[in-house]
Amino acid sequence: MKNCLECSYTFTIIDRFKSIFTGKLRCKKCNTIYRVKRSIYRFIYYLVIYLSSIFVAPIFTNYKGIPLGFLSRLL
């Protein structure tokens, strides 16, 4: 949901992101609470977001992975 049905308030990305964890979307203007319905499309949407954040995060943090050279030193 992008807009409130009562007052036409446009929900921000942060508001929609919070609704992932709480399951509720609250309008800041009129305090109307919307419950997020569970569906397969919602599951697919969140799965794509989680997987993309997992694969994109190492790019921005310069994560090099686990060095496997220590195994050759142990053997």
Query: Residue 9 has what DSSP assignment?
Result: P
Q: What's the pLDDT at 44? A: 83
23-41 pLDDT per residue, tens: 888 898 998 998 877 778 7
* pTM check: above 0.85: no
Mean pLDDT value across the chain? 78
Q: Is the Cβ–Cβ distance between 11 and 4 less than 8 Å?
A: yes
Q: What's the pLDDT at 30? A: 92
CB atoms within 10 A of CB 27: 19
| Pure H helices in the chain | 13-22, 40-61, 69-74
